[in-house]
Each structure stands twice: as structure tokens, then as C-alpha cells.
Amino acid sequence: MINIDDEKILNLFWQRSEAALDKTMEKYGRNLYRVARNILHSNQDAEECVNDTLLSAWEAIPPKRPEFFGAYLAKIARNFSLKRWRTAGAAKRGSGQVALMLSELDDIFTPETADERLNYTQTVSAINDCLHTLGDTAQAAFVRRYFAGDSIQEISRLLGVSESKIKSMLFRARNKLKIHLKQEGINI
């Protein structure tokens, strides 16, 4: 990542300067590409999702001014990637890794009614609260697995922890999250 302040990049967006896109790619392009590539397992599709992400940011800023610019971009890239993955079909792309990643969370929370879907903000807040109770390594593993779509092997390598330890951490984190959501009154 380059050492340019997000505020400076956002100011370029507000000025409608195309340099905002260049600076965004310099600072976040590699991370956005990694998120998309982890989900899609296709270089071309990942590049298209990164381009869609930049276009979406260009169209949204202004009037939006995200507080956490990198996370804002990563969420957009992830959403575009998941949409493309669903459209392409799990059997054609991703070697089942994305289906596995999503299925690991299915038993925790699967909204079934309109009321449950309306409680999205409450659910996100409860998930964040629970994640803050995890240790740093478990929290990093959870986010890398269920947000960035990293494989168990990749998380193990990045965090310097055995694969079995990562699997165990994720299992315990999912169980803790399930209990926390129940305590918060979120239907699971």
C-alpha cells in the first residue's frame, strides 16, 4: 500500500479529479484484486470486479464520504464478486471454496423472512460486538475467511498458525457467534 492519506484521496473524489481513481488503485488495488480473486478464482473476472468497484465509488463519492475508505472499497469489491460468482454458478468457478466458505456460516444466520432481513443493521452490530471479544488471531482469521474469502491454507500461512489451529479457531468463533446472536435476540 502506498502512503497517501485517505482524506486526500476522498478530496480528489469530491473535486471529481480522475487522479482519485489512480491513487485509489495505487493504495488499494492489490487488496481489492485479492478479495475478488479469492472469491472468483479468475484473473479476468477479478479485474472486472475491481473496475466495477472503482466505478461504483466514483458514482457514490460525493455525496457519500466513507469513514473507513479501504473497508468501504473492499465491501463493494466483495459484493460485486459474490454477485458475479452466484451468476456464474458455483460449479463453474471457485472450486467450491466460496460455497464452502458461505455454507460454514449458513447454520449461524440465514434470514428467512422480511422482518429478519430488516434487522440487518442489528445483526451486523451484534457480529461486530462478538468479533471484538475474540483474540487478535481468531478475529483476523474470521475476517480473512468470511470477508476476504481466504482459504484455510492462506490464513495459516499469513498468521503463522497451523491449519488445524485455524480450523479450530474458526469453529469456536462460529459457535461463540451463534450463542451471541441468540443472546441478542437475533433469530438463527
Going by C-alpha positions, the residue among 14, 10, 37 that lies closest to residue 23 is: 10
Going by C-alpha positions, the residue among 66, 35, 64 that lies closest to residue 49 is: 35
pLDDT at 120: 60
pLDDT at 56: 93
State the Cα–Cα distance between residues 86 and 177, nearest whole angstrom.
Answer: 25
**Architecture of the domain made up of 107-183:** Orthogonal Bundle (1.10)
Instruction: Find out whether 119 and 186 touch, Cβ atoms under 8 Å.
Output: yes
Same CATH fold assignment for domains 6-93 and 107-183: no
pTM: 0.58
pLDDT at 94: 47
Domain ranges of the chain: 6-93, 107-183
pLDDT at 140: 87
pLDDT at 178: 86
State the Cα–Cα distance between residues 162 and 33, nearest whole angstrom.
Answer: 26
Mean pLDDT by 10 residues, the chain (188 residues): 81 93 93 88 89 93 89 88 73 49 51 56 75 88 84 91 92 89 76
- Class (C level, CATH) for 6-93: mainly alpha
- Alpha helices by DSSP H, 89-162: 97-106, 114-118, 120-131, 136-146, 152-159
